[in-house]
Structure 1
Amino acid sequence: MALQNDKPAPAFDVLLFGATGFTGRLITRYLSAHPQRSTFKFAIAARSKSKLDALVNELGLDKNTSILVVDVTKKDQVEEAVKQTKVVINTVGPYWRWGTPVVRACAVHGRHYVDLTGETPWIMSIIFKYDYLAFKTGAMIIPSCGMDSIPSDISVYLSNKTLKAAAGPDACIDESTTAFKIKGGISGGTIASMFTMLEEVPPHIVKAARQDFAISTSVTGRLSKPPRLVYTLPQVTPPIIGSFFIMSHSNKAIVQRSWGLFQMDAFKAEAKATAAEKDSKKLLTYGPEFRYEEFLAMPSTIGAAAFSLVMGLIAVTLMIPPLRYLAKRYLPKSGYGPSDQEMEKGFLKATNITSSIPTSTAPRTHVKTVIKGRGDPGYLLTSMMISECALALALEQDALPRREGGVLTPVTALGDVLVKRLKDTGRFEFESEVLKSGEADTRKTR
């Protein structure tokens, strides 16, 4: 496979695949009205020219928005389109079925890439196939840039920064837990991906992808606690009680990959970096004993236990083909979603508690990080999150914390640049603080 390091100047800064899908339309609308719209060249792509033309008319897109007819199953069309842009936003899923050719083209031609996948088996496969190639060509491949899994990734990232600022650069995380409170719909694309995992991915690959640190680097850390009916967030008053969260496995995998990439960066820096570079890399590490979990906040212990049992029953039911067929008929389909009014009523609140490992010179320190989002998390906020990831890659390359390509995660590739961009949307709030005896201290970092 030839490496395409001699890159022609791209015609576009951002190219969106799947623009005519429900989430694709939201992304198109968001980017077309973005405050920085005059600073980037934007193109939309889909299989159907007539649907693209209808989208242009529906949103009143200006003549500076280019249109490409691209079928992601056609290798030549994908290659030609990818070569024309700096950054690809890919919303065409299920990714196990349709995503690999797009990632391959980006890795070969050194173009950056973001998507909305929660399909850990697929991420595992593209790491194996294209991580090194992307590293060589400088392509930043960043999966899971929406509700899967930016809030989870950022919550730990900010808690670690606050912990290091309070307890010193040598502080290591013991446990980090995030409780999610959300109001919003489940994407039809997410449901389609779930069925793809059940019907198309070999069971041994699904099993491997569900193991701790399945998509981490060559380093592995502390194993997770076993699943349970009721979860509790420590160090908050009143305690937050919750149940199993359907997104927890995919989110945890991304957080663990961030942990592994930060650890590896620090190991590499020890061999050849300056003292200042070593210190900066060390500040990002979570520590060798890091353990992460998350859950869905519920109003009561009984409600949490009941919901966990129901989720378990649904999981068993979906393993039975006739019952799975019935579920497909009634669950949301790809391409459809809630109205603007319904999406405005949605919200996200992620509360993370991160605790350090006590030492002979430093007591255990607890940090609370809260992320709030105004709008439906799975649709409206997701369209904003992935758009800001793409714009960070397209417009702020020199400000990003990472200069190397590869299959990365939102915080390892984009770090504080992404946090600031999300905050600047006016839809997101971030706060991180040290706790004292279960109560919020005044030492806030955001």
Structure 2
Amino acid sequence: MNGDASSPAPGSNAREFDVVVFGVTGFVGELTARYLAEHAPTGTRVALAGRSETKLAATRKRLPARAHDWPLIVADSSSPASLDAMVARTRVICTTVGPYLRYGEALVVAAASAGTDYVDLTGEAPFVHFSINKAHETAVATGARIVHSCGFDSVPSDLGVYLLYNKIADDKAGELTDTTFVVKSFKGGISGGTFDSVRVIAEQSRDAETRRLLLNPHSLSGEPGNTPRVSMSSEPSDMTMISAKKVDPSMRGTLAPFFMAASNTRIVRRTDALLNNPYGKDFRYAETMSVGQVPGVSTLIAGVVAVGTGVFLGAMSFGPTRKLLDRLLPKPGEGPSVKVREKGSFVTETYTTTTTGRRYRSQMRMKGDPGYKATAIMLGESALTLALERDRLSSLTGVLTPAAAMGDVLANRLRAAGATLDAVELT
């Protein structure tokens, strides 16, 4: 999206850069830098960062001509001093360096300490939990916005519920109750970085405390050092199969579990907590995906998905099978061709019934491979939102979520970038 006349001028504060893209030599990092080169407003100050100056220079050469004079910054996740120096130079640090549990902890602390806004692509709930405990209070004190999960995980989920809430509030139709996110279509691949994050989470799940965190539906809803203690039954299971009719009378078949529910649902619940629980005291949230509308067939497929997801996660936590899967799955830094990325797309819908009995649905749809092209757009626009539109954002600071930090401003930028986002009452 290009800026408009009312956006704050790029370069309007004392920082040297508006956005630094860290991890630009990786596949999604390069896609994000390319998106900024093609769509950031004229005058936006961007720098490219990574471990190797040689690789950074090679990446820069592949970008559009506009990026060829962007400065290069050498920084390494294992060198806190280099991270401190990097974040001190920019308004926003945009990082694709994952798995974040392995490589992200020092950077999020550095950004919070420097008062630098931060966006990432993490789908790792334990990493967000670390960030809350170690960086939230510092970020509040310095005025930093630390915004996790700004790609396909978890922007469609988070904005989907947020848009529903806004529409229902405008209609004075009560509060949200049972709310279900449905991936209606998904054409594209899952990034190697996502699989690498699953590897790390699977390894860490051997630890009893990490398992408790992963199983707690409200593990990200609390303040630093105060994780809510709730039972798994307080929210729908992340591995649930749901009759589509129970979600909305217009739907048919059985809905399968969505493989990123364990991360996305917790981001959505944190948004509700950060905004002082406006979604309602009876708000409960689940994520699913459509596998067809024929009752018997969709039930069978949904069952296979549920079992297959469980088997996959188990295999990833077991050394010998993980080594076999590592040979087959995409590697971090790898990705599909331009043609494949362009052919991708997704459609997500979120349904709820309010306390007054009225039914609503929000929708988000985008062209482009969800894990690559669409994610690069969402991450790039998130970085630009924080860098260029601070005056339009809420006063919230600390460890935030996409909807809590950027809400309507991000939604509008994504619409201008070609996404469809809306919320309607169903009759």
The verdict on a shared fold, with TM-score over 0.5 as the criterion, is yes
Q: Contact conserved, 1:124 with 1:209, CA < 8 A, in 2?
A: no
Report the counterpart of residue 415 of structure 1 in structure 2.
Answer: 407
Q: Deviations over 1:205-238 (max 9, x none)?
A: 2321331211113596882123434552622524
Match of 1:249 among 262, 265, 272: 262
Match of 1:178 among 177, 181, 186: 181
Q: CA deviation at 1:133?
A: 0.7
Query: For residue 105 of structure 2, what is the aligned residue in structure 1?
Result: 100
CA contact (8 A) 1:167 1:365 kept: no
- Give the structure 1 partner of residue 319 of structure 2: 321
Q: Whole-Å Cα distance in 2 between the matches of residues 194 and 352 of structure 1?
A: 25
Do residues 395 (structure 1) and 388 (structure 2) align?
yes
Structure 1 counterpart of 2:52: 48
Which residue is equivalent to 2:10? Answer: none
Instruction: Give the fraction of aligned pairs with identical amino acids, expressed as a percent.
Output: 35
Question: Residue 394 of structure 1 aligns to which amino acid in structure 2?
Answer: A
Matched, 1:366 2:359: yes
Q: Which whole-Å deviations, capped at 9, do the CAs of 1:223-275 have from their partners, x for residues lacking one?
A: 212343455262252426321111001000000000111116xxxxxxxxxxx
Amino acid of the structure 2 residue aligned with 1:391: L
How far is 1:52 from its partner? 1.0
Tell me the TM-score normalized by structure 1. Answer: 0.86
CA contact (8 A) 2:164 2:362 kept: yes
Q: Which residue number corresponds to residue 84 of structure 2?
A: 79
User: How far apart are 1:432 and its partner, in Å?
Assistant: 1.1
- 1:433 partner letter: V
1:341 CA displacement:
0.5
Q: How far 1:178 sits from its partner (Å)?
A: 0.8
Please give the per-residue CA displacement for 1:64-93, whole angstroms capped at 9, x wherever unaligned: 411111112111111101100000001101
Query: Structure 1 residues 187, 43: closer, same or farther in 2, change over 3 A?
Result: same
Match of 1:88 in 2: 93
Out of 307, 321, 331, the position equivalent to 1:333 is 331
- Backbone CA RMSD of aligned residues: 1.8
Segments of 5+ residues of structure 2 without an aligned counterpart are 1-12, 293-297
Indicate the residue corresponding to 1:262 in structure 2: 275
The corresponding residue for 1:430 is 421
Partner of 1:18: 23
Aligned 8 A contact 1:375 1:381 in 2: yes
Match of 1:385 in 2: 378
Counterparts of 2:33 and 2:146 in 1: how far apart (Å)?
A: 21
Q: Is the 8 A contact 2:244 2:251 kept in 1?
A: no
2-structure distance, mates of 1:368, 1:396: 28
Task: State how far apart, in whole Å, the 2-side matches of 1:229 and 1:295 are.
Answer: 8
Amino acid of the structure 2 residue aligned with 1:34: H
Superposed displacement of residue 167, structure 1: 3.0
Aligned match of 2:248: 235
Say whether residues 1:196 and 2:189 are aligned partners: no
Query: 2:304 corresponds to which residue?
Result: 306
Which residue number corresponds to residue 7 of structure 2? Answer: none
The residue number in structure 2 matching 1:405 is 397
* 1:142 partnered with 2:147: yes
The alpha carbon displacement at 1:370 in A equals 1.1
Matched to 1:131, the amino acid is: H
Per-residue CA deviation, residues 126-155 of structure 1 (Å, 9 max, x unaligned), is: 101110110000000001000110000000
How far does residue 163 in structure 1 lie from its aligned partner after superposition? Answer: 1.3
Classify the secondary structure of the residue corresponding to 1:33: helix
Query: What secondary structure sits across from 1:15 in the alignment?
Result: strand
Letter in 2 for 1:434: E
SS in 2 for 1:333: coil
Aligned residues: 399
Q: Is the 8 A contact 2:256 2:290 kept in 1?
A: yes
Counterparts of 1:13 and 1:317 in 2: how far apart (Å)? 42
Structure 1 unaligned regions, length at least 5: 1-7, 265-284, 358-362, 437-446
Contact 2:38 2:64 in 1 (8 A): no
Give the match's secondary structure for 2:422: strand
Aligned-partner residue type, residue 330 of structure 1: L
Moved more, 410-419 or 234-243: 234-243
Q: Distance in 2 between matches of 1:77 and 1:163?
A: 47
Change in Cα spacing, 1:378 to 1:203, as seen in structure 2 (3 Å) is: farther
**Residues 231 and 319 (structure 1 numbering): CA distance in 2 closer, same or farther, change over 3 Å?**
farther
Is the CA contact 2:75–2:86 (under 8 Å) kept in the aligned structure 1? Answer: yes
1:385-443: CA deviations, max 9, x gaps?
Answer: 0110110111010011x2232000001110100000000012x101211112xxxxxxx
* Structure-2 separation of matches of 1:238 and 1:254: 26
CA deviation after TM superposition for structure 1 residue 160, in Å: 1.0
1:66: which partner in 2?
A: 71
Instruction: State the SS of the aligned residue for 2:119.
Output: strand
Q: Given the superposition, is the C-alpha separation of residues 355 and 238 from structure 1 closer, same or farther in structure 2, using an over 3 Å criterion?
A: closer
Give the secondary-structure state (helix, strand or coil) at the position aligned to 2:110: helix
How far apart, in 2, do the equivalents of 1:35 and 1:329 lie? Answer: 38
